[in-house]
Amino acid sequence: MNPSEPAPDGSTRRTVDVDVDVLVVGAGITGIYQLHRVLEAGFSATLLEAGGGVGGTWYWNRYPGARFDSESYTYGYLFSKALFDEWEWQEHFAEQPETERYLNHVVDRFDLRRHVRCDTRVTAADWDEASGTWSVVTDAGTELRSRFLVAATGVLSVPFLPDVPGRQDFRGASYHTGRWPTTPVDLTGKRVAVIGTGSSGVQLVPAIAGDVASLTVYQRTANWCTPLNNSPIAPDEQAQLRADFEALREILNTSIHGFHHPAHDRAAFDDSAEDRRAFFERMWNSPGFTKMTSNYTDLLFNEAANAEWCKFIADKIRSIVEDPETATMLIPKDHRFGENRPPFVTGYYEAFNRPNVSLVDVKATPILRLTEHGIETADGEREFDVIVWATGFDFGTGALLRLGIHGRDGLALADHWADGPTTFLGVQTTGFPNLFFPGGPHAAAGNNPRYNGDQVDFVTDTLVHARDRGFDTIEVEPTSERRWTDMVDRGAASASFGEISYYFGTNIPGKPRKYLLNSGGRPMLFKVIADVRATDYQAFRMSRSSAGSGDRSEPSVTG
Ligand code: NA7
């Protein structure tokens, strides 16, 4: 850390700390891979991470019960067979500590740690036109310089805390699932409230229900939860996975959603009612996301097909939850399966059969305020020792907009995206040369590391392409960005049955309603990346910075 020093004009000037080709921000699964790829390609690089360790999502979300709902071996990296062979995932859906260990192993295994600075939060990043570099300032007041800036800051990394009156008044302990402490939290014998029943809340509830004195779940929207069906990976399965690695990698690198699940070949009403029920039963007992990826082909497009599946799940909920009133509350009434991101659970519905677990419907009895001792709803105050906010994240743009990024002519990214993000391929935006954000908004949906990895590979190849041609400044052409963004916006209507999803940003008050994924998904990503390569990267304007060459060249290619 370098101290600030006085400039000749008396102002305080920061000392430039490092000068590298590539600064990566964020040590999650995307940032770690990006660091590896650029180092491997011969660029110098440093990675800055706000957390005390690497892992990103798998560093911050360490609440009890946090685990994958993608199969472990399909979520982990595929770039190295040696890595795949040597890391034996213990469970089909690994718990957070195992994933954190895995990502630390990768960092050490590929000698990345000496390039990583943890406990370092980026507070500003300014494009310097004269030198063609990014000036990045950290919370320690250090300035770092780089030619390229890759913000791998994640789509689900900025926790959302609702502005509930009196939130600061509560005198017990409060935690957000996305900022769970690294020091152990002992909930034994405590009166605990959990607010929120998305993927995080429904993982947490059964994990703590047996330890706490009482657990009160505040539910605003019931979700279509189905069983994760997790299990340990047996030794023969480990051996089979290794033997099948190349085939598995091929499937995962090419599949639409990044999973290895085979697609079904029948629509819901191709089957008789009896066969449909038997099929749904098989789905219910199958692992994780297969209930989406291997279900009837028309599940997400045909309302009647979706309704059949929802009715099946509702019957399951009623058969598990003993109290009929609670069961009814747990059955979604305002959206269909797949409209919200479906959570996958282990013992969630069963937890409500415990005498110490209760459910509060926040729509029927809204939370009015927090008090010193607990939560006051329309039907009175309940006292708690601990409140857990499982209230989600500022999805897609949250982290990027908090980096204090300013591009050409001082344009703030926050202003540029005031009406929602505009991107090309979900990796670049006009006016911000040499800034890339793989794993950001407008990517795809599905098994996250797979399409984020596609983007990292593309970013790396683009940097190499520019370097090979003597260019050091890369900026997407406005027409390319417009086309991609129009495609995203046009597709938004077909992206979901409704508007509930945080994929539209509507969970954050005041956030513009914009679709934050790319409805063409991974196939669209593949198609446009192939087009870019086939047309010699004409989607980008590439040039030599005046600092690099003494004169600014004409763009090499224009689109
Ligand atoms: P989610 O899926 O965004 O869930 C957040 C939950 O918090 C959801 O049930 C919300 O209800 C609830 N919420 C938000 N604000 C409030 C207020 N003010 N009062 C009551 N309840 C509220 O986040 P998760 O962390 O569970 O999951 C995020 C991702 O992590 C997930 O997609 C996976 O990729 C893993 P709502 O539905 O908005 O009515």
- Ligand 1 centre to CA of 221 (Å) is 9
> Can you give the three-state secondary structure of 42-107, one letter per residue?
CCCEEEECCCCCCCCHHHHCCCCCCECCCCHHHHCCCCCHHHHHHCCCCECCCEHHHHHHHHHHHH
- pLDDT tops 60 at residue 8: no
- Ligand 1 centre to CA of 201 (Å) is 8
- pLDDT greater at residue 11 or residue 179: 179
In this predicted structure, what is the pLDDT of residue 467?
A: 97
Please state, rounded to an integer, the average pLDDT across all residues of the chain.
93
Average pLDDT score over residue span 23-51: 98
Q: Are strands 357-361 and 116-117 parallel, antiparallel or unpaired?
A: unpaired
- Ligand 1 centre to CA of 3 (Å) is 42
Residues 339, 349 contacting (CB under 8 angstroms):
no
Sequence-ordered alpha helix ranges (H) in 110-234: 199-208
**Element spanning 357, H or E:** strand 357-361
Q: Is the CB of 390 under 6 A from ligand 1?
A: yes
Query: For residue 537, what is the DSSP state?
Result: T
- pLDDT tops 50 at residue 9: no
What would the pLDDT profile of 429-448 be if each residue is shown by its tens digit? 999 999 999 999 999 889 99
Average pLDDT score over residue span 513-535: 93
User: For residue 52, what are its two tokens?
Assistant: 């005390």
What would the pLDDT profile of 456-512 be if each residue is shown by its tens digit? 999 999 999 999 999 999 999 999 999 999 999 888 776 555 555 688 898 999 999
Q: Is the CB of 288 under 6 A from ligand 1?
A: no
Cα separations (Å) of 133 from 126, 138, 144, 554? Answer: 8, 16, 10, 18
In this predicted structure, what is the pLDDT of residue 340?
A: 87
The residue nearest atom 17 of ligand 1, judged by CA position, is 162
User: For residue 420, what are its two tokens?
Assistant: 């929602």
- Ligand 1 centre to CA of 389 (Å) is 9
Ligand 1 atom showing the smallest separation from residue 448 Cα: 34
Q: For residue 7, name the pLDDT band (cuts at 50, 70, 90).
A: very low
In this predicted structure, what is the pLDDT of residue 186?
A: 98
Q: Which of 507, 508, 511, 516, when mutated, tests ligand 1's pocket best, judged by the most ligand atoms within 8 Å of its CB?
A: 507
Q: Is the CB of 154 under 6 A from ligand 1?
A: no
Q: Which of 156, 200, 333, 361, when mutated, tests ligand 1's pocket best, judged by the most ligand atoms within 8 Å of its CB?
A: 200
pLDDT-above-90 percentage for the chain: 87
Q: Is the CB of 362 under 6 A from ligand 1?
A: yes
Ligand 1 atom showing the smallest separation from residue 392 Cα: 23
In this predicted structure, what is the pLDDT of residue 499?
A: 54
pTM: 0.94
Q: Is the CB of 158 under 6 A from ligand 1?
A: no
The residue nearest atom 25 of ligand 1, judged by CA position, is 392
Average pLDDT score over residue span 134-145: 95
What would the pLDDT profile of 40-92 be if each residue is shown by its tens digit? 999 999 999 999 999 999 999 999 999 999 999 999 999 999 999 999 999 99
- Ligand 1 centre to CA of 363 (Å) is 14
The residue nearest atom 14 of ligand 1, judged by CA position, is 391
- Ligand 1 centre to CA of 392 (Å) is 4
In this predicted structure, what is the pLDDT of residue 506?
A: 87
- pLDDT tops 50 at residue 6: no
Q: Which of 68, 199, 394, when mutated, tests ligand 1's pocket best, judged by the most ligand atoms within 8 Å of its CB?
A: 199
**Element spanning 317, H or E:** helix 303-320
